[in-house]
């Protein structure tokens, strides 16, 4: 059986809509072996919320790889050991897709080159903001083109993430419906400028610029009603010494990028801001995952799950 560990990801980071993602030190593990008939087991965080059977995202990805390499009739036994809260804006589905694709490719003798795997998982997920950093690790800026994914990978150093996960889901469908078909030109200009600043700050280590660079006018204002207390939680993160804060993906998770010594304090402050509004939440101080998806040796014990901030 092949086992692959894949990190959680935070997409957007404010203005980087559907093109920027950061890998984090929460993870899921996908284990895969050949089988006579399809068999899927899910264990861990949110196990009852993750689809079973051949609808499981990792199984779908494994089947796509098998078909791509000429084994359309292949069946698998798949086991997911999960620590990524599902439906919370931390890229859980993308991580599963990546894990299934990488595990199947390894199981079948690695017939797919890395660029083909990248294109496959990004196409299956619909865009590269979660799938690319889940596969590659670090910070990835990418876009889909007719010729495939075009992306740049960075390795932010000296940076941690405070993540707070409220105890309610936000439907991806509802989050997409909240977005208007048209936005004011001034808001588009606002986001373009901050997207450039975001990437420049993360590339150069000038993290003090993130307070401005993580601001957004294209999706957070329209989705704020789906995340009660969003503005207060972001403000609490900034008061606690974070460089900047924003929704993670379409939410409801909120992420703050922090100095190494401020992540725990920021996570606790963000959690308290939610709880002051009657919303239960879990919070973590996380590292940036620079490894991405990696095949683990047989018998490797699960990686420790980061302890929530109390």
Whole-number pLDDT of residue 304: 57
Predicted local confidence at residue 136, as pLDDT: 97
pLDDT of residue 280: 95
Note the pLDDT of residue 267: 98
Q: What is the pLDDT of residue 300?
A: 64
pLDDT in tens, 66-103: 999 999 999 999 999 999 999 899 999 999 999 999 99
Give me the domains of the chain, ranges plus CATH numbers: 2-155+289-296 (3.30.230.10), 160-287 (3.30.70.890)
159 known member of a binding site: no
Task: Tell me: is residue 62 an annotated ligand-binding position.
Answer: no
- At residue 183, the pLDDT reads 94
Greater confidence, 17 or 215?
A: 215
The answer to whether the annotation marks 133 as part of a ligand binding site is no
Q: What residue ranges in the chain does DSSP mark as E strands?
A: 2-12, 16-34, 39-44, 76-82, 139-145, 148-154, 160-166, 244-247, 254-258, 281-287, 294-296
231 assigned to a ligand binding site: no
52 pLDDT above the threshold of 90: no
Does 27 show up as a binding residue in the annotation?
no
Residue 299 banded pLDDT, cuts 50, 70, 90: low
Q: Residue 93 annotated as binding?
A: yes
89 is in an annotated binding site: yes
Residue 92 assigned ligand-binding role: yes
Handedness of CA 43, 49, 54, 56 (dihedral sign): negative
256 is in an annotated binding site: no
The chain-wide mean pLDDT, for the chain, equals 93
**Chain segment 256-287, per-residue pLDDT in tens:** 999 999 999 999 999 999 999 999 999 999 99
């Amino acid at each position: 059986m092949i086992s692959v560990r894949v990190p959680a990801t935070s997409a957007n980071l404010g203005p980087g809509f559907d093109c920027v993602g950061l890998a984090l030190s929460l993870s899921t593990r996908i284990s895969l072996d050949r089988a006579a008939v399809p068999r899927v087991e899910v264990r861990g965080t949110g196990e009852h919320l993750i689809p079973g059977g051949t609808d499981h995202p990792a199984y779908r990805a494994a089947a796509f790889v098998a078909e791509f390499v000429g084994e359309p009739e292949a069946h698998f036994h798949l086991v997911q050991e999960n620590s990524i809260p599902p439906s919370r804006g931390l890229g859980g589905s993308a991580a599963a897709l990546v894990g299934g694709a990488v595990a199947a490719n390894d199981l079948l003798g690695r017939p797919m080159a890395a660029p083909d795997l990248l294109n496959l998982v990004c196409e299956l997920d619909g865009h590269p903001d979660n799938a690319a950093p889940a596969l590659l690790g670090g910070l990835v800026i990418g876009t889909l083109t007719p010729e495939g994914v075009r992306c740049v990978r960075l390795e932010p150093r000296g940076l941690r993430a405070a993540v707070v996960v409220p105890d309610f889901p936000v439907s991806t469908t509802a989050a997409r419906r909240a977005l208007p078909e048209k936005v004011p030109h001034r808001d588009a200009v606002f986001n373009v400028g901050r997207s450039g600043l975001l990437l420049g700050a993360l590339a150069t280590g000038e993290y003090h610029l993130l307070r401005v660079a993580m601001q957004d006018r294209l999706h957070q204002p329209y989705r704020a009603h789906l995340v009660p207390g969003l503005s207060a939680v972001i403000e609490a993160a900034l008061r606690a010494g974070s460089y900047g804060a924003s929704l993670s993906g379409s939410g409801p998770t909120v992420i703050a990028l922090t100095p190494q010594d401020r992540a725990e304090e920021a996570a606790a402050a963000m959690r308290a801001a939610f709880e002051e509004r009657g919303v239960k939440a879990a919070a973590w101080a996380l590292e940036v995952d620079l490894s991405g998806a990696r095949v683990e040796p047989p018998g490797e014990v699960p990686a420790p799950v980061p302890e929530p901030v109390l």
